[in-house]
Amino acid sequence: MCPAPSPTPEPDPPATGQNVTSGAAVHDLTKRFGPVQALGGVTLDFPGGQVTALMGENGAGKSTLLKILTGDHQPTGGRITLEGQPLTLESPARARAAGIRIIPQEPEIIPYVSVAENVYAGALPTSAGRRLDRTELRRRVTADLDRLGFTGVLDPDLLGSQLTPAQRQLVEIMRAVTGEAKVVAFDEPTSSLSEHEVDALFRLIRRLRDQGTAVIYVSHRMQEIFQLADRIAVLRDGNLVGVQDARSTSVDELVRLMVGRDLSTMFTRRRADRGRLVLDVKDLTTEDVRNVNLQMHAGEVVGLAGLVGAGRSELALALAGDRPVLSGTVTLDGQRLRHGRPGEVIRAGLGLAPEERKAQALFLHRSIRDNSSLVVLERLRRLRFVSRAAERKLVQQYADRLRVRAPSIEHEVRKLSGGNQQKVVLARWLARKPKVLILDEPTRGIDVGAKAEIYQIIADLAEEGVALLVISSELPELLGLADRVVVMQNGRVTGELGHEDATEEAVLSLAMADDIAGVTPAGASS
Amino acid sequence: MTTITPQATKDAPPGQGAVGGSRTLLSFVGGQNLSLIGALAVVLALFGILNENYLSVSNMQVIAEAATITGLLAVVQTVVIICGGLDISVGSQVGVASVVSAMVFTSTGDNALLGVAVAVGVGVLVGVLNGLVIVYGRVNPTIATLAGLAAYKGLAQLLSDGRAQGYVLNDDIFVFLGRGKVAGIPAMVWILIAVAVAVHLLLTRTDIGRNIYAIGGNDTAARLAGININKYLVAVYALIGVVAAIAGILLTARTGSGQPTSGSEGLELKAITAAALGGCALRGGKGGIGGTLLAVALLGCLENGLTVEGINSFWQNVAQGALLVIAVVIQQRRSGERAVGLPT
Amino acid sequence: MTTITPQATKDAPPGQGAVGGSRTLLSFVGGQNLSLIGALAVVLALFGILNENYLSVSNMQVIAEAATITGLLAVVQTVVIICGGLDISVGSQVGVASVVSAMVFTSTGDNALLGVAVAVGVGVLVGVLNGLVIVYGRVNPTIATLAGLAAYKGLAQLLSDGRAQGYVLNDDIFVFLGRGKVAGIPAMVWILIAVAVAVHLLLTRTDIGRNIYAIGGNDTAARLAGININKYLVAVYALIGVVAAIAGILLTARTGSGQPTSGSEGLELKAITAAALGGCALRGGKGGIGGTLLAVALLGCLENGLTVEGINSFWQNVAQGALLVIAVVIQQRRSGERAVGLPT
Amino acid sequence: SSGKESADDDGPAAPVTGKISLTYLQKQGDQEYFVGEAEGAKEKAAELGVDLKVVNLGNDANKTVSEVQSAIAQKTNGIIIVVPDPAVGPQVVRTAKDAKVPLLTSDDQICATGPDPSACDKADLIPRIGFSGSQMGGEVGKRAAEEFKKAGWRAADTRVISAWKQDVTVCGDRVKAAKEAFDAAVPGVEKTDVATDNTPTGAQDKIAATITANPKVKHWVIWGCNDENVQGGVTAMKNAGVGADDVIGVGLGAYLACKDWSGGKPSGMKAALFINGRDVGALAVQTMYDKLKNGKEFPSESFAPTTMVDAGTWKSAGVTCN
Ligand SMILES: Nc1ncnc2c1ncn2[C@@H]1O[C@H](COP(=O)(O)OP(=O)(O)OP(=O)(O)O)[C@@H](O)[C@H]1O
Ligand SMILES: Nc1ncnc2c1ncn2[C@@H]1O[C@H](COP(=O)(O)OP(=O)(O)OP(=O)(O)O)[C@@H](O)[C@H]1O
Ligand SMILES: [Mg+2]
Ligand SMILES: [Mg+2]
């Protein structure tokens, strides 16, 4: 796991807001979804001028709490107060007007309007009646981009449908901080951002805090929590199990609160000898990826690092046969793969758990079982009839192993928390057991306990001889997992680092090779 | 911690359930279709009280027979809607098949089997054409089949010169299809039952069906899961072509001759209505044969009842519209859809 | 990294661009509509060569007039499709308005303005009713308006007893609406122009319009942004009601009497076809008036040309279907839609 | 069953004793003419104390079969039918015969043994009340010829437009008869077929295009399947600037033509064949009643009267205009 700043193990009483009349609070808040109790009576305040972190396992109820605060869900019971005054939030519009903003876990983007309009949707500037004032809109967005430090990464004229995941997240962030905000909640905002944007985001959060805004911050990344938070509230099974002062608590204590037991958080993998060559990529060029050469061996974990838009996901999709290949070859176990045929690639033995689970992997209205078994159906069928018993057994096995939190495997995936949805995607590929498995941001939105589990699974798979390509924006994770790290920038591989040489600094300097004048890409090591 | 409990919940989508016999019926019906069953019961009870002959065996046979052609099309419409498409040209396809079956029959010296075979063959061709236009022409399915609606209607009219063709009621096979009964149930209704059961099994029990749901639920995800979407789409449209051809042959058998437009115009709307009322989401990925058949039955019983009561067709239009809305509103209330926002 | 380029990209939807005069025309047409313009040019050239009178001013007037009622409905259909809905009941609404306008006119001793006003009022009511059923009944727009298609048709028939009602061509206002010309352009065409320009400005230049795109593009995002989706939906359906009523009044003016079904049946399909051909995505969030009007013009010129050439209606059906597909295929090829997967 | 078994013909059914219930199945029940026919039938039924159900079949041959079956399941005593398409006739006849329910047709003829009444053995034709399509067309053609002669036009600068929905068989029959009658009286006038959807606006748009295509034509004669076609055509002429004197429109039905005349202005609508659906409906019910109550055999064919009316005579002929 990520190394935590050494905390002082001093059991201070939980910090409460210094100023009861600023910020928001919830009192005895409950929420039920049919049989699922998502929140079971949470009383918690979010004082102004402080960053309150919200932690908890996948499905603990963090997003639900935030959704209630923004009027998106109606609570089953309990009260909300803002600046000491009771508040009923019958709609998101009401919450917005009251000054409560949320950056949701899954960005919601309007596809065919510009970034500028996406940011100001619902509050577009008008002049002379309802005439849209485009000049003013542009002025405001440009100013916002400048203020937030996103100027280079986000073109305000791009259409929503053209944005990358990171850019979508930035749009959500911009939306939330326009206008007068008293409470701003961030639901795992960094899960698709890279270091550069994360820095800008943290500056923004600190500025908001200093202006007296109540900031709520949800994340599974301990490092960030300790960098940002003043106080840390931990939810478990929809109940508040403790509020800790960030200066006086420790990672271990938080983990114990979250999962109810001790967990070894550091991950070290026993490195096996490299097996036979399974994947050989030669001079692969697509629209977004140029001249990529990559070799992967059985039992090897290769990390793929890079900044936002470096082309890692594009490379993954190209390998999975989902991108038109302009030139170059991909050979899997001696078999040359044809592009444009994902099915053939899967049958040849390559699997991809893609980056955007909702858009690229999940069938939200279908059950966990349907979602998990999709790529193994051909093994479960006889005369094309799927054996349900075998299917259920298999899915149950992987759901248990990944600790998917749901009443049953027949539960619809859209009703799962974000992290649990990610686990369903992983379960699909674990069940398939391919020769080469590409995991694009596999721990995005995954809680500590499950993360450890996933690391273990990656290790086990490598042990079994699977070659793994792991894409992650969390460098510590990547460095901990990978036998070697391949770094990309602008669609090109800029270097490769062996496990020993792979430090954060080395990776970052390769990731920004073009930007650092005069530095030639480091030669491939190991 | 991990909280997967092995029993199925009541949230399971229709056709998802266990393997056992008694579960199968419920899974076929689907939990969320209870309001349709309720509506059907109300309609049956109401007209049963108003008119003593309404619930008679012979009237039920009449209702079933009248609903057969719509039912066949609604079943395949359900499949294509589940996989995210739509087929607006089904009515015109029925017309083509009807004309072809009768004309081939007549011109080959009353060879019924040949008539049937050629009609089915033409149905496959038409369906594959639809699929190819959609897949390789990259035309939106709605537009492509809207074009088909006009084009195939024109084709049927050109073939038949716009008039009813041939006469088939001197042939045993056609007479059996149109008027025969087996075990007290009309032959055409048996055909509907056979098609519906086959398609239901296909959708719920085979990997093909799973893949169809996957394609409609999220095409990107389906593609990345290795499903050959294009192949599936062409196959689904071909299936529609075959079933529409069967419907056209039954139309010929029932009316006695090949009908280019009469009896088939407007069937697309009826089929889509039934599928949507039966719980198909028009954006794909959701629905089942059970719900669709219930909706077909509901609409059929309603129409017959209104006619039996001698209600004039103007009032029937108003009543059908109103009842359709009421049925859906009740269904939505029961399933507790959220009120804020677009209620799709 | 990336630099900000201040001009709109070529993918920007029509009407996104700048405020300037010359840009406005292009934005109205929309870059992606070039293939429609091409198709239109081909049709005009083809029939112009085949028949010397086809391109005459008087024939262009005839085409424009014939396309007006469809055009009006296609314009509002575009709006509702952009915001993620659909209205299949437009044709029936036209029938209601036609009957109401003529009956009120006749029964109030030939008061044309009152006839027009009451028809528009009824149109608003019908539209609001549609919106309320969709929003508060939580009924899928397709189903709700399918129900409306039947119910309002029944209403028009009940009001009129199924017959053409009244006679309006002794009144100057109706005669002007039906046959008058201003600056050489028929009065009805002016009405279409006025409605189209107003709706275009609404969609592209006001925050209301932008919110409509937002609702159709992503209803969750719109809801979270505080847009009152329900209010917008009801308002959009009310707008449809008003414009359908105007179309109904024009129908009365053209035919001289209130027509319950004749002349309005099937208009929904034509309107949806035009909107879809004009580039509206049926799942919402995308489209514009420019494309829709081009599609209306294309279909109108085609139909007129086929009639001028004396082609029988069977071939016309085939030709229209085939040409519709060809136009869209070319459009898709040009815009380079990806071939793998569902091509929606 | 194989569906082939047929009830033996065991003579005429015994007269019905209790309350008689009849079913009137009509095609295109939302059209003006058939609405009138239904009203006439209902009035007559009320007068005779008969229970009458009227069912609209639209243009649907399939629904026709269903509704015949349904009426039988409802134990109706007699069926009167206007088929959407004569080809469905044999199936209807067979179904009614199996159930021993007397069958009478109105308006359109059907044959017990084949799809085409015109190629049918006289004995196999089902008794019928109504107008004859070819007779109506003939009247129209004859009147148009008279008007043509009266106007003194030359065949060379005259054009005849026949407007109808080309997939409706009975429309085709009417138009064909009109052409033959016209040609018999006035040979040599060129004719143009215009495909419409039988609605006034559809006809107007299509005929407007036809005018465009033929700018050299000076005089126009228009007929069609119904009043809608002719009225749409006359309006198109007016809009194209063709004077009322240069148009001879002969309507069929008179229900829209009367509206033109009630305006009192000169109109291209010169005459229309008035067919009164009420008379047909009433006569059909009376005939069926006589058979069921009194055992009186159906006459093989009875016609209701038609009248050619024009601007001067329509009121006295009993045309009612809404
Ligand atoms: N719309 C819904 N319908 C049914 N159940 C839901 C719904 N939304 C959330 N839940 C359930 O409520 C519980 C809390 O979910 P929530 O999304 O708040 O978790 P979370 O703490 O944000 O988890 P994560 O870290 O994975 O995002 C979960 O058990 C989830 O399955
Ligand atoms: N700032 C940007 N502006 C415009 N396009 C961008 C930007 N960043 C990335 N892209 C586009 O994203 C694609 C490559 O990104 P890809 O998703 O493969 O990167 P990645 O390394 O996976 O990064 P991440 O997933 O973290 O965004 C290319 O199509 C590129 O044009
Ligand atoms: Mg969450
Ligand atoms: Mg990526």
**CA distance linking residue B121 with residue D321, whole number of Å:** 52
pLDDT tens, D143-166? 999 999 999 999 999 999 999 988
Residues 306 through 335 of chain B touching chain C, CB cutoff 8 Å: 313-322, 324-325, 328-329, 332-333
Q: How confident is the model at residue A272 (pLDDT cuts 50, 70, 90)?
A: low
Interface residue A35 vs chain B (CB under 8 A): yes
Q: What is the pLDDT of residue C31?
A: 52
Q: What is the pLDDT of residue C328?
A: 72
For residue A219, the CA-to-ligand 2 centroid distance in Å is 23
Q: What is the pLDDT of residue C324?
A: 74
Contacts of B282 in chain C (CB under 8 A): 140, 142
For residue D315, the CA-to-ligand 1 centroid distance in Å is 77
Question: How far is C-alpha C52 from the chain's CA centre?
Answer: 30
C176, amino acid identity: F
| Side-chain-side CA neighbours of residue A520 (13 Å) | 2
> What are A52's two structure tokens?
């309150």
Q: What is the pLDDT of residue B335?
A: 61
Q: Do chains A and D touch (3 or more CB pairs under 8 A)?
A: no
Of B189, B113, B228, the C-alpha closest to A344 is: B228
CB contact under 8 A, D195 and C307: yes
The pLDDT of residue A7 is above 70: no
> What are D139's two structure tokens?
């009247």
Nearest beta carbon to residue B162 from set C222, C314, C329: C314
Name the residue with the closest Cα to ligand 1, atom 7.
A415
Of A339, A347, A316, A99, the C-alpha closest to A215 is: A99
> What are C163's two structure tokens?
């017959």
**CA distance linking residue D255 with residue D228, whole number of Å:** 9
Secondary structure (3-state) at A212: coil
- B194 located within any domain: yes
Secondary structure (3-state) at B221: helix
Most confident of A146-150, A301-305, C57-61: A301-305
CB contact under 8 A, A121 and C206: no
Residue A451, ligand 1, Cβ within 6 A: no
Residue A156, ligand 2, Cβ within 6 A: no
How many angstroms separate the CA of residue A206 from the nearest CA in chain C? Answer: 24
Interface residue B226 vs chain A (CB under 8 A): yes
CB contact under 8 A, A96 and C226: yes
CB contact under 8 A, A132 and C222: no
| Side-chain-side CA neighbours of residue A121 (13 Å) | 37
Task: Tell me which residue range forms the domain holding B211.
Answer: 54-305
Name the residue with the closest Cα to ligand 1, atom 6.
A415
Contacts of B150 in chain C (CB under 8 A): 317-318, 320-321, 324
Q: What is the pLDDT of residue C329?
A: 76
- The count of other CB atoms within 10 Å of the CB of residue D118 is 9
B-contacting chains (≥3 CB pairs under 8 Å): A, C, D
Pairing status of strand A51-56 against strand A214-218:
parallel
Q: How much is the pTM? A: 0.81
Name the residue with the closest Cα to ligand 1, atom 29.
A59
Counts for chain D of helices (H) and strands (E), in that order: 9, 12
Task: Kindly report the backbone phi and psi dihedral angles of residue A310, in degrees, each rounded to the nearest multiple of 5, phi listed first.
Answer: -70, -20
Give the list of residues 6+ apart from residue C85 with CB closer than 8 angstroms, or none. B342, C134, C141, C216, C233, C236, C237, C284
Which ligand 2 atom is the nearest neighbour of the CA of A471? 22
Averaged pLDDT of chain D: 87
> What are C89's two structure tokens?
């009941």
Interface residue A514 vs chain C (CB under 8 A): no
User: Per this entry, what is the length of chain A?
Assistant: 526
CB contact under 8 A, B226 and A375: yes
CB contact under 8 A, C285 and A111: yes
For D117-143, the DSSP string reads: GGGS-GGGBPPEEE--HHHHHHHHHHH
Task: Find the helix or strand (DSSP H, E) in which A396 lies.
Answer: helix A388-401
Q: What is the pLDDT of residue B336?
A: 57
Query: What is the count of structural domains for chain B?
Result: 1
Residue A104, ligand 1, Cβ within 6 A: no
Distances (CA, A) of A388 to A369, A391, B32, B204: 10, 5, 22, 10
- B238 located within any domain: yes
Of C9, C156, C136, C152, the C-alpha closest to C89 is: C152
How many angstroms separate the CA of residue C316 from the nearest CA in chain A? Answer: 36
Nearest beta carbon to residue C276 from set B142, B157, B281: B142
Name the residue with the closest Cα to ligand 2, atom 12.
A309
CATH fit for domain A24-109+163-261, picks 3.90.1510.10, 1.10.3720.10, 3.40.50.300, 3.40.50.1860: 3.40.50.300
Contacts of D228 in chain C (CB under 8 A): 262
Pairing status of strand D269-275 against strand D247-253:
parallel
**CA distance linking residue A421 with residue A415, whole number of Å:** 9
pLDDT tens, D82-111? 998 888 888 899 999 988 999 999 888 888
Instruction: Reduce the secondary structure of B167-186 to three states and give it as a string.
Output: CCCCCHHHHHHHHCEECCEE
Q: What is the pLDDT of residue D33?
A: 82
- In this structure, what DSSP letter does residue A519 have? P
Pairing status of strand A467-471 against strand A436-440:
parallel
Contacts of B341 in chain C (CB under 8 A): 219-220, 222-223, 229-230
> What are D103's two structure tokens?
């069958």
**CA distance linking residue C343 with residue C335, whole number of Å:** 12
Task: Find the helix or strand (DSSP H, E) in which D92 lies.
Answer: helix D89-98
Q: What is the pLDDT of residue A352?
A: 94
- B321 located within any domain: no
Q: How confident is the model at residue C52 (pLDDT cuts 50, 70, 90)?
A: confident
- B332 located within any domain: no
CB contact under 8 A, C65 and D263: no
- Asked whether the beta carbons of A236 and A257 are under 8 A apart, the reply is yes
Nearest CA in chain B to C157: B314
Contacts of D195 in chain C (CB under 8 A): 307, 312-313, 316
pLDDT tens, B199-239? 999 999 999 999 999 999 998 899 999 899 999 999 999 99
Looking at the DSSP assignment, which residues form a beta bridge with residue D26?
A: D56
User: Per this entry, what is the length of chain C?
Assistant: 344
**CA distance linking residue D48 with residue D40, whole number of Å:** 12
Q: What percent of chain B has pLDDT over 90?
A: 48
**CA distance linking residue B102 with residue B124, whole number of Å:** 17
CATH at B175: 1.10.3470
Contacts of A34 in chain B (CB under 8 A): 11
> What are C327's two structure tokens?
């136009």
Nearest beta carbon to residue A112 from set C223, C226, C285: C285
Range in B38-42, C185-189, C203-207, C320-324 the model is least confident about: C320-324
| Exposure class string for A64-78: b at 16+ Cβ within 10 A, else e | bbbbbbbbbbebeeb
Domain residue spans in chain A?
Answer: 24-109+163-261, 264-517
Interface residue B341 vs chain A (CB under 8 A): no
Nearest CA in chain C to B342: C219
Return the CATH class of domain A264-517: alpha beta
Averaged pLDDT of chain A: 85
For residue A320, the CA-to-ligand 4 centroid distance in Å is 14
Name the residue with the closest Cα to ligand 1, atom 8.
A415
- B292 located within any domain: yes
**CA distance linking residue D96 with residue D103, whole number of Å:** 7
| Exposure class string for A464-494: b at 16+ Cβ within 10 A, else e | ebbbbbbbbbbbbbbbbbbbbbbbbbbbbbb
Residues 32 through 91 of chain B touching chain C, CB cutoff 8 Å: 84-85
**CA distance linking residue D207 with residue D231, whole number of Å:** 11
Contacts of A370 in chain B (CB under 8 A): 16, 210, 213-214
Q: What is the pLDDT of residue B324?
A: 74
- C151 located within any domain: yes
Strands of the sheet with D78-81, listed across from one edge: D51-56, D21-26, D78-81, D103-106, D128-130, D301-303
**CA distance linking residue A339 with residue A322, whole number of Å:** 7
Give the residue with greater pLDDT, D3 vs A133: A133
**CA distance linking residue D194 with residue D176, whole number of Å:** 13
Long-range contacts of D307-310 (CB under 8 A, 24+ apart): D307/D273, D307/D274, D308/D139, D308/D143, D308/D271, D308/D272, D308/D273, D308/D274, D309/D254, D309/D257, D309/D271, D309/D272, D309/D273, D309/D274, D310/D261, D310/D270, D310/D271, D310/D272
Q: How confident is the model at residue A224 (pLDDT cuts 50, 70, 90)?
A: confident
Q: What is the pLDDT of residue B4?
A: 42
Residue A418, ligand 1, Cβ within 6 A: yes
**Closest ligand, as measured to the CA of A191:** 2
Averaged pLDDT of chain B: 84
pLDDT tens, D163-206? 998 877 778 889 999 999 999 999 989 999 998 888 888 899 89
- C342 located within any domain: no
Task: Kindly report the backbone phi and psi dihedral angles of residue D182, in degrees, each rounded to the nearest multiple of 5, phi listed first.
Answer: -65, -45
The pLDDT of residue B36 is above 60: yes
Give the list of residues 6+ apart from residue B115 with CB closer than 8 angstroms, or none. B100, B101, B102, B103, B104, B105, B108, B168, B249
Distances (CA, A) of B72 to A260, B60, B101: 57, 18, 18
**Closest ligand, as measured to the CA of A311:** 2
State in Å, rounded, how far the first CA of chain B is from the last one: 35
Give the residue with greater pLDDT, A10 vs D286: D286
> What are C322's two structure tokens?
């085939």
- Asked whether the beta carbons of D104 and D13 are under 8 A apart, the reply is no
Name the residue with the closest Cα to ligand 2, atom 15.
A309
CB contact under 8 A, D195 and C259: no
Nearest beta carbon to residue B138 from set C139, C152, C343: C343
pLDDT tens, C119-175? 999 999 999 999 999 988 888 887 788 889 889 999 999 998 888 888 888 889 998
Contacts of A374 in chain B (CB under 8 A): 210-211, 214, 225
Q: Do chains D and B touch (3 or more CB pairs under 8 A)?
A: yes
Contacts of A156 in chain C (CB under 8 A): 4
- C325 located within any domain: no
Nearest beta carbon to residue A122 from set C4, C5, C226: C226
Residue A17, ligand 1, Cβ within 6 A: no
D-contacting chains (≥3 CB pairs under 8 Å): B, C
